[in-house]
Amino acid sequence: MTADRPSPHLDLDLATVRRAYRTMRNVLPGIELCYAVKANPHPDVLALLVAEGASFDLASVGELDLCLLAGARPAGLSWGNPVKKVTDVRAARAAGVTRFTTDAPADVDLLAREVPGATVGVRLAVGDDGSATPFAGKFGASEDEAVALLERARAGGLDAAGIGFHVGSQQRDPRAWARAVDAAARVAARLGAHAPRELNLGGGFPTTHAGGPTPDVDACAAAIRHALAAHAAHWRPRPFAEPGRALVADAGVLRAEVVLVAQRAGRRWVYLDVGRYQGLAETEGEMIVYRLRTPGRDGETGPVVLAGPTCDGDDVLYRDADVRLPLDLAPGDVVEFLGAGAYTSSYASVGFNGLPPLPTHVRQVQHVPHETPEEGGIDHHTPQH
C-alpha cells in the first residue's frame, strides 16, 4: 500500500488546505487571515496561501525566510511571537516587517529601540479553558498591564495600534472568543481616545479528532461576530485572525506501519514506525487523540496501548485514551492518522535513534478550466463547451 513511499510519511492534500482557507474567509468576512506558519511550514502550503491572498503570522527568522521565499509581501507579515531576540527584530526590520505582537515591558522597549514607528499589538492573557493544548500562563498581559504596555509603546514612539489574544489551540468552546473580545473591549474603553484600532483574534480554531465533539469553525466565527457586534457602538477595531491548525489539519494523513504487537501485563501493545519523535508530538499528555484507520483490516477491534518505535520510555502515544484497533493487526499493516496535517512534520526530530524526520508528499491542486471558487479539483457543474 505504501510500497512506493517510505513509511512513515505525511500525505498532504493542497486542495483541502485551499478549501479550509476559503471556508474560513466565508465565515469570517472582512477579517484578514494570517496563517500561523508553525502549524505546517511546507513551502507548497505557503505558496498556495500566498496565491489565495493570505497574510502570515510568524515567530522566527526561519519562518520569515520561508514566507518571503513563498512570495509573501512584507506588509502581510505579522511577527506574532512575543519572545524575540535582538537579531530577530533586526532581521524583521531589514525584511520590511512592520507589525509585531508584544506582552512585556522589556520587549516593548526592544521594539521601540530597533523598529521605531512599528505597529505593535499587545497580547492579553485570556482564559484558555476548553483548549486541548492550553498556554497555561506562558504568554499575555493582564488588562492593567495591557493598558500600561500600550501607553509605554506610544510613549516610546511606536504605533500602539493593537490588542489581541490567543484562546488556546484546539479550543472547543466558542464562548472563549466572546469572553476574550469582551476583555479586549474593556482595555480599549480604558484607553479612550487612544483605543487600539486593530484586534488580533489569534488562532485556536479546532479540528475534528477522536475523543469528544468539536464545534465547527462556523460556531467559533458566529461567537466572534456576535461579540464584535455587541461592542460596535463604542469600538470598531479592524479584526484579524491567526488560524494555524484549522487550515491544514484536515489536509494531512500520516501513514505509518505496525512494527510489533505484544502482550504486556495483560494489555495489547502495538508498536508503530512513527512516534512522539517523528511528528506525533501532540500526543504528549494525550492532548490530541487522532482518528485512526487501518485499511484492509476491518474485523473486530480491541483496546491497545499505542507506542512509537524509539528506545525512549516517553515514546508512548496513547496509554489512557480509548484506542481500539483490529484484533488481527499484524506487523507490516498500515495505520493511518487522520487530521494530521498540523503540528506533525515540523515537530519531527532530525534523527533521534537514527530515525529520519517525517517526509511530506504533497498532492497539488489540479488546475482545470471552469474551476468553481468553492471546490478544489474538477468542476462538476459547468458544462464543457
Of the pair 195, 342, the CB lying nearest ligand PLP is at: 342
Q: Segment 214-243, which members bind ligand PLP (CB under 6 A)?
A: 242-243
Of the pair 8, 243, the CB lying nearest ligand PLP is at: 243
Decide: is 11 part of the binding site for ligand PLP (CB under 6 A).
no
Interacting residue with ligand PLP among 31, 39, 188, 227 (CB under 6 A): 39
Q: Which stretch binds ligand PLP (CB under 6 A): 20-28, 208-216, 244-252, 298-306?
A: 244-252
Of the pair 97, 334, the CB lying nearest ligand PLP is at: 97
Interacting residue with ligand PLP among 33, 36, 111, 146 (CB under 6 A): 36
Of the pair 88, 273, the CB lying nearest ligand PLP is at: 88
The residue to which cell 507490516 is assigned: 332
Decide: is 344 part of the binding site for ligand PLP (CB under 6 A).
no
Decide: is 204 part of the binding site for ligand PLP (CB under 6 A).
yes
Of the pair 196, 202, the CB lying nearest ligand PLP is at: 202
- Of 87, 268, 59, residue with least CA distance to 166: 59
Interacting residue with ligand PLP among 162, 244, 308, 339 (CB under 6 A): 244
Decide: is 205 part of the binding site for ligand PLP (CB under 6 A).
yes
- Kindly state the smallest distance separating residue 164's Cβ from ligand PLP, in Å: 9
Interacting residue with ligand PLP among 166, 209, 225, 231 (CB under 6 A): 166
Q: Are 152 and 167 in contact (CB under 8 A)?
A: no
| 67 carries an active-site annotation | no
Residue number with the shortest CB distance to ligand PLP? 203
- Kindly state the smallest distance separating residue 113's Cβ from ligand PLP, in Å: 22
What is the set of active-site residues? 311
Give me the residues that bind ligand PLP (CB under 6 A), please: 36, 38-39, 57, 80, 166, 169, 202-205, 242-246
